[in-house]
Amino acid sequence: MIEIENLSFRYPGSRFGVALPALRIERGGRVAIIGPSGAGKTTLLKLIAGILSPDEGTIRVDGVTVSALDDGARRNFRISRVGFVFQELELLDYLSVFDNIVHPYRINRVLKLDQGVRDRARELAEQTGLADKLAALPRELSQGERQRAAVCRALLAEPGLVLADEATGNLDPANKLRVIELLIRAAERKRSTLLAVTHDHELLPLFDRVIDIRQPQGPEAE
Ligand SMILES: Nc1ncnc2c1ncn2[C@@H]1O[C@H](COP(=O)(O)OP(=O)(O)OP(=O)(O)O)[C@@H](O)[C@H]1O
């Protein structure tokens, strides 16, 4: 569950800010975030993930007040509880697809890379049609395959919260549907909350709620 109250954030030295009086998303919710370019969709996801800290207000995820954690605790929270598919994917080009998928387990002590995790990585690759690409480098993949690899990496730790930032951008319709359905199915299986930023209005019927961040949020706006 995500609960936001009186959130305000401004990038240092910038006029751009995000203000959100109230937002509540139930555990297992499947929510699309829309809004024009530059509206603050990525910024909101980063605030929820604890990558950015609000200037004021509280953000709670599954009962944890992310905004009150110190840097180390916030990092651990993010690593173990949040799967983030970044807009730029952030795959490392010198690592194979398999090593990219398990990378968070190699660099974070709170995650333990054992045989079960390796098997799960292969299973995810299988489900996403990447089984025969695990030894390839990201630059040897198509954009859709790279996007699916980033999704596998985000889902590997079976996070309670999945944040996807334009995970289907630049994909053809078939691949778009494949990636978004993968995210939705994985979220359903674990009863995770899914927040997906999208510019693609054709995908909106797949979600149970759409938040337009230009519109006022909160109980009075529901
Ligand atoms: N690190 C930063 N420092 C200062 N300003 C930033 C920073 N990152 C983003 N911004 C500004 O914040 C605003 C919102 O950016 P954000 O990436 O959240 O928008 P968005 O809605 O996700 O846009 P898009 O749909 O184009 O991805 C933009 O005006 C952007 O220039």
- Ligand 1, atom 11, residue with closest C-alpha: 16
- Global confidence as pTM: 0.90
Q: Are strands 64-65 and 30-34 parallel, antiparallel or unpaired?
A: unpaired
Give the pLDDT of residue 170.
73
Establish if 147 belongs to a structural domain: no
- Mean pLDDT in residue range 3-31: 92
Element (H, E) at 43: helix 41-49
The domain in which residue 42 lies consists of: 2-89+153-221
Q: Which two tokens stand for residue 126?
A: 């299988």
Q: How many domains does the chain have?
A: 1
92 C-alpha to ligand 1 centroid (Å): 23
Lowest mean pLDDT among 27-36, 80-89, 140-149: 80-89
Q: Which of 7, 11, 46 to mutate to test the pocket of ligand 1 (most atoms within 8 A of CB)?
A: 11
Q: What is the CATH number of the domain that holds 193?
A: 3.40.50.300
160 Cα: distance to centroid of ligand 1 (angstroms): 26
pLDDT for 222 equals: 44
pLDDT digits (tens, 9 = 90+) for 89-139: 889 999 999 999 999 999 888 889 999 999 999 999 998 889 999 999 999
Tell me if 104 is assigned to some domain. Answer: no
Q: Is residue 161 part of a domain?
A: yes
CB 11 near ligand 1, within 6 Å: yes
Q: How confident is the model at residue 46 (pLDDT cuts 50, 70, 90)?
A: very high
Nearest to 48 by CA among 131, 143, 136, 164: 164
ipTM for this prediction: 0.96
pLDDT of 220 strictly over 70:
no
In the predicted model, what is the mean pLDDT of the chain? 90
